[in-house]
Structure 1
Amino acid sequence: MESRPGLLSASAVRRLATRLDLRPTKQRGQNFVTDANTVRRIVALAGVQPDDVVLEIGPGLGSLTLGLLEAAERVVAVEIDPLLAGALPDTVAERLPARSAALSVVEADALRVAELPYEPTRVVANLPYNVSVPVLLHLLATFESWQHGLVMVQAEVADRLAAGPGSKTYGIPSVKMAWYAATARVGTVPPSVFWPVPNVDSGLVSITRRPPPETTATREQVFAVIDAAFAQRRKMLRSALAGLAGSSAAASAALEAAGVDPQARGEVLDVTAYARIAEQLTVAAG
């Protein structure tokens, strides 16, 4: 490691990986940020405040962690890889010793983590490409204390998370995210700032939590309708929801009662419409 403290440079990232005998795996979506300016940009766009407790998923070698520790009160980092989880406190102690006590490392699978040592107020993460959407939905459902976030994901996923009804990229991730939060695509990150270099751009998505639609249906019931609607994307809703409703006629009746055209397709509806449909299907079943 170089003696100068602060954020990791590209050479420092490689030296640290060599010291740990680390071989990044595609299975865990390990692509580490090697550019300090990109880290500063992410922290700035995330709006991290001095009193924030930031939850970071997949801190890896600590590039973003160090930037967050410079700006936040505390960082809780969830890392599934035992090697990386064990090395992170040492990296912070070497590079940013005055802030090492502000780091908490949780060795866990982000898809299953249910408890944290501190309540997060903000999520900032470079999410693994292969599990980014389920991880994000899990964090929104499990830790209700965080109100704002910024995540870096594959560009295509960023477009889906932020898409609105009627767009080509609008789908299950778009609608389920809208249940929890308002989202916006706020930037692009080139492959060149990562090691190993991925073959796609990354996108930055801002997240601002908001109340879910007012409905008597549960989130699970609404999400079941969303899943069914997009399972057969090109089908009219009366056909796509026939399995849930019991028949095409029952689906049509529920859709009409919800104020939705039975011949519409799922890609044109917002999350509020899905909540109304779930409510009507629940009433009909009851």
Structure 2
Amino acid sequence: MARNHSSHKFGFGNFSHTQGKVGAGAGRTPRDRARRELAQNFLVDQHAVDLIMTAAEPVGTVLEPGAGEGAITGALAERGARVIAYEIDPLLAAKLTARTRDHAGIRVVRGDFLRARPPGEPFAVVGNIPFSATAGIVDWCLRAPNLTSATLVTQWEYARRRTGDFGRWSLVTVSSWPWFTWELVGRIDRGSFRPVPSVDSAVLRIRRRPGPLVEHQEAFTELVELGFTGIGGTVRASLRTRYRGVDAALAVAGVAPDTVVAFVHPDQWITLYEALMP
């Protein structure tokens, strides 16, 4: 693959089209409205980009949701990745296309990443994604059969919830745990973006396991979803509505009978599954 580092540098200056207008007339121009509607906050911090690249270890085909003006796009390409950059904003997509048209390792797609068809070969996803689209993009990644990893810039609180940093676990994380690992790699100060968002961000790393920890995905998901319904207030009460031997399974997994579902570790869910399945 052709690479041209000298003619395709992606500077880390002010990437926002609206920054020159921020002030008395903030939010009044079409670009301001587009930025707000699309939740556009552009990275302007080289150290943050380097953190993302270190976590992502980009190789092969990489899809980038919300490419913006190309801070991450350029960094991925400079490390040898074949980048397919998705940008829904037509003006940003046109500008990024013009800037990268001579780079063989970058293809810009004007459109919604969530409507993209996953590649038929192994690929990764790396991106500074819009906060408002986080749930949809994470779900897309988890459903893509050939995804190897997703390295995403998300809200700090979102990453903490998904990785158990509060000591609690979410349905999304638990139900995908036998197939994916979740890691909070680092924190990015809100001042690393323009416009400056109201909260800090995190680098969230989701990686497919070499092999699944359970055999039947549908059965495991059904068990976990029942537990998260909250019927009866505890995981014991919820599971006893459908499964036999719940008390014995909880004992094997080291889960107290009165445990609220969010405090059951994903590894304990796997033990419960193994104990309850015939």
Task: Please say if 1:8 is aligned against 2:15.
Answer: no
Q: What does the per-residue CA deviation read over 1:259-278, in whole Å, with 9 as the maximum and x for residues that have no partner?
A: 55554332233435435656
Q: Is 1:69 paired with 2:56?
A: no
Task: Tell whether 2:213 aligns with 1:213.
Answer: yes
Contact 1:238-1:251 within 8 A present in 2 as well: no
Does 2:84 align with 1:79?
no
- Using the alignment, how far apart are the partners of 1:239 and 1:227 within structure 2? 13
Unaligned regions of 5+ residues in structure 2, if any?
A: 1-6, 22-28
Aligned counterpart for 2:235 among listed residues 222, 225, 237:
237
Deviation readout 1:224-269 (Å, 9 max, x if unpaired) = 4333433439811233346xxxx3xx44545645755554332233
Please give the alpha-carbon distance, in whole angstroms, between the structure 2 residues aligned to 1:232 and 1:77.
40
Structure 2 SS opposite 1:75: strand
Q: Which string of whole-angstrom CA distances, capped at 9 and with x for unpartnered residues, describes residues 150-180 of structure 1?
A: 221100111122227xx43422233134233
Structure 2 SS opposite 1:203: strand
**Structure-1 separation of matches of 2:121 and 2:130:** 22
Q: Superposed, which structure 2 residues align to 1:159-238 within 5 Å?
A: 159-163=160-164, 167-210=166-209, 211-215=211-215, 217-218=216-217, 220-232=218-230, 235-238=233-236
Find out whether 1:34 has 2:44 as its counterpart.
Answer: yes
Give the 3 Å change call, closer, same or farther, for CA 168–276 of structure 1 in structure 2: closer
AA aligned opposite 2:95? A
CA RMSD, aligned part only? 3.4
* Distance in 1 between residues matched to 2:243 and 2:20, nearest whole Å: 55
Relative to the length of structure 1, the TM-score reads 0.74
Q: Match of 1:123, as an amino acid?
A: V
Q: Which runs of 5+ in 1 are unaligned?
A: none
Q: 1:254 to 1:105 in 2, by over 3 A?
A: farther
* CA 1:209–1:81: 2 relative to 1, 3 Å: same
Alignment match of 1:140 (pick from 110, 121, 142): 142
Q: Which letter maps to 2:205?
A: S
The 8 Å contact of residues 182 and 205 in structure 2, kept in 1 or not, is answered as yes
Distance 1:257 1:27, change over 3 A: same
Match of 2:31 among 22, 41, 59: 22
Say if 1:178 and 1:271, in contact at 8 Å, map to a contact too.
yes
State percent identity of aligned pairs: 25
Deviation at residue 121 of structure 1 after TM alignment: 3.0
Report the number of matched residues. Answer: 260
Amino acid at match of 2:100: V
Q: Indicate conservation of the 8 Å contact 1:7/1:36, yes or no.
A: no
- The answer to which of 71-80 and 190-199 deviates more is 71-80
Q: Give the Cα separation in 2 of the matches to 1:17 and 1:172.
A: 42
1:264 to 246, 256, 259: 259
| Distance in 2, Cα, partners of 1:192 & 1:277 | 44
1:105 is matched with 108
Q: Structure 1 residues 278 and 151, CA, compared in 2 at 3 Å: closer, same or farther? A: same
Question: Following the alignment from structure 1 to structure 2, what is the Cα–Cα distance between the partners of residues 132 and 163?
Answer: 17
